[in-house]
Structure 1
Amino acid sequence: MKFMNLGSRENASRYVAVEMFKEIHFNECTLLGLATGGTMEEMYQELVELLKRHQTDISCLETFNLDEYFNLDISHPNSYMSYMKKHFFDPIGMQNSQFHLPDNDLFDVEEDNLRYDAAIRDKGPLHIQLLGIGVNGHIGFNEPGTPFDSKTRVVELSPETIEANARFFDKQDDVPVQAVSMGIETILYSNRILLLALGDKKADIMAKLYHMTEPDIAVPASSLLTHPNVEIIMDEAAAQYITFK
């Protein structure tokens, strides 16, 4: 893994946006794995501006998202579908057929998850998989203890993850406790992985990950040690406890 401290939040977000833009702009058809959350908002804003400024043809762009809250209506303002439509899909004019999120319906969820993984396998590997990271080292909603051969499935969210997500909901009781998430094996089925980590709250886990030399299921992000092309992009706050060798 290559760790990069790019100083400001703006520089880190811009770097990821530019790398995503180049993949879309210079390839006839691009397959991306996408992530959500506050960390990604500035990056998506920059990416949208780049695509519009350069009048990039996105007609052959196709995306698969990491996760979606389980049994939360996709029209809910805090669903990840709503997030993606607001920050990326609608601003660049993507058609419904071009983007995919895990199906979070109560019915046939296991079959839907199998179809989701099968679609990625059939079309993939993903050219770029975009990731954030949780304070406990989760990627997607793969919490500590997740086997590295896991696939898309319904998962129970950890107390730390529920607490981190609570700020997006009006009441604590409204915060989802389950999600549908790509598994770690699915995430690793990609040519390149870009992990963006921003802010003080990510500093401890980034320092821990930096010093890891072997994968450990207690830190799901350490699975990235098994992938040949991973970049960890941080701002100064997230990298503050790392002394680069």
Structure 2
Amino acid sequence: MSVTIRTAAGLPDLGEQAAATVLARLQASTRPVLGVATGSSPLPLYQALARRRAELPPLRAFALDEYLGLPAGHPQSYREVVRREVTAPLGLDPAEVFVPDGGTNNPDRAAAAYEDTIRAAGGIDVQVLGIGSNGHLAFNEPGSPLDSRTRVVDLDASTRQANARFFASPEEVPYRALTQGLGTILEAKALVLMAAGESKAEAVERALCGPVTPELPASVLQLHPDVTVLLAEGANKLLPREAGANLK
């Protein structure tokens, strides 16, 4: 395991640090593949990459997850979020940007097909991640097997509550989703975790300094050989000062 922890002065700096890390990984690959996360945490990264768009190599991108059951074109479906926040600003070819099929009538088959598509692309070179206040990665809620693959999941009540701000009412938040599994995420060559705000501090500390356990899904970061953790606005407040050295 090698975890590099950096603290940013603010959200713009967080984005610039993340962009430098991601670009270095992508430019080292002959046909790079980027794993993209949704939510507020990675937005500074995508904004920084858009400013440095000329430095981006041609690449393919895979989203971590997607709600099940939202109608096609719903503005809060992750297909639409990725289109708005990643594909268009970064000038990516929409045909090379992949999101799990949340409108499928056979989600188990769609999950297996998504795994196959990632594998056919040669895997993810660098996977961008956020972290939930309950320690989830993607939609891998507490209790997720550490070797899990892309699959159907039930969303935790705290996750639905956190995401309700994006919908007209809490009742509109879906109860299920398709998500890459923890085992799938661990197969990416490099992981870049972004977190901002004191509300994420406990989850970050437990993920990096506590035991590796399914009850804290983000603790699987400790099992990966190349992790960069970028923190801002108090997300590092519970980490011991020597954490970076101890996590090498």
Q: TM-score, normalised by structure 1?
A: 0.92
SS at structure 2 position matched to 1:205: helix
The separation in 2 between residues aligned to 1:74 and 1:234, in whole angstroms, is 34
Task: Kindly indicate whether residue 82 of structure 2 is the aligned counterpart of residue 80 of structure 1.
Answer: no
Cα pair 1:199 1:237 within 8 Å, conserved: yes
Distance 1:69 1:240, change over 3 A: same
Cα pair 2:127 2:190 within 8 Å, conserved: yes
Give the aligned residue type for 1:240. Answer: K
The separation in 1 between residues aligned to 2:240 and 2:183, in whole angstroms, is 30
Give the aligned residue type for 1:49. Answer: R
Distance 1:135 1:51, change over 3 A: same
The separation in 2 between residues aligned to 1:208 and 1:19, in whole angstroms, is 24
* Alignment partner, residue 30 of structure 1: 32
The separation in 1 between residues aligned to 2:82 and 2:61, in whole angstroms, is 11
Cα pair 1:21 1:50 within 8 Å, conserved: no
Give the aligned residue type for 2:163. Answer: N
Cα pair 1:32 1:129 within 8 Å, conserved: yes
Task: Kindly indicate whether residue 154 of structure 2 is the aligned counterpart of residue 156 of structure 1.
Answer: yes
Query: Shift of the alpha carbon at 1:27?
Result: 4.0
The separation in 2 between residues aligned to 1:209 and 1:112, in whole angstroms, is 30
* Alignment partner, residue 224 of structure 1: 221
Distance 1:223 1:24, change over 3 A: closer
Matched residue pairs, number?
A: 240
SS at structure 1 position matched to 2:76: coil
Out of 35-44 and 3-12, give the one that drifted further: 3-12
Distance 1:57 1:241, change over 3 A: closer
Cα displacement string for residues 8-56 of structure 1 (whole angstroms, at most 9, x for unaligned residues)? 222222111222233344544211111011112121111111014x4x4
* Alignment partner, residue 138 of structure 2: 140
Q: Paired residue for 1:42, among 31, 41, 44?
A: 44
Cα displacement string for residues 121-177 of structure 1 (whole angstroms, at most 9, x for unaligned residues)? 232231101100000000000000000111111111101101100111111211111
Cα pair 2:72 2:103 within 8 Å, conserved: no
* Alignment partner, residue 230 of structure 2: 233
Give the aligned residue type for 1:182. Answer: Q
SS at structure 2 position matched to 1:38: coil
Cα pair 1:3 1:210 within 8 Å, conserved: no
* Alignment partner, residue 200 of structure 2: 202
Q: Paired residue for 2:11, among 4, 9, 12?
A: 9
* Alignment partner, residue 180 of structure 2: 182
* Alignment partner, residue 164 of structure 2: 166
Distance 1:194 1:57, change over 3 A: closer
Give the aligned residue type for 1:35. Answer: A
The separation in 2 between residues aligned to 1:45 and 1:98, in whole angstroms, is 20
Cα displacement string for residues 219-240 of structure 1 (whole angstroms, at most 9, x for unaligned residues)? 0001111111111110141111
Distance 1:118 1:218, change over 3 A: same
SS at structure 2 position matched to 1:166: helix
Give the aligned residue type for 1:206. Answer: V
Cα pair 2:75 2:81 within 8 Å, conserved: yes
Give the aligned residue type for 2:219. Answer: S
Q: TM-score, normalised by structure 2?
A: 0.91
The separation in 2 between residues aligned to 1:230 and 1:205, in whole angstroms, is 16
The separation in 1 between residues aligned to 2:205 and 2:133, in whole angstroms, is 11
The separation in 2 between residues aligned to 1:67 and 1:8, in whole angstroms, is 27
- 5+ long unaligned stretches in structure 2: 243-248
SS at structure 1 position matched to 2:127: strand
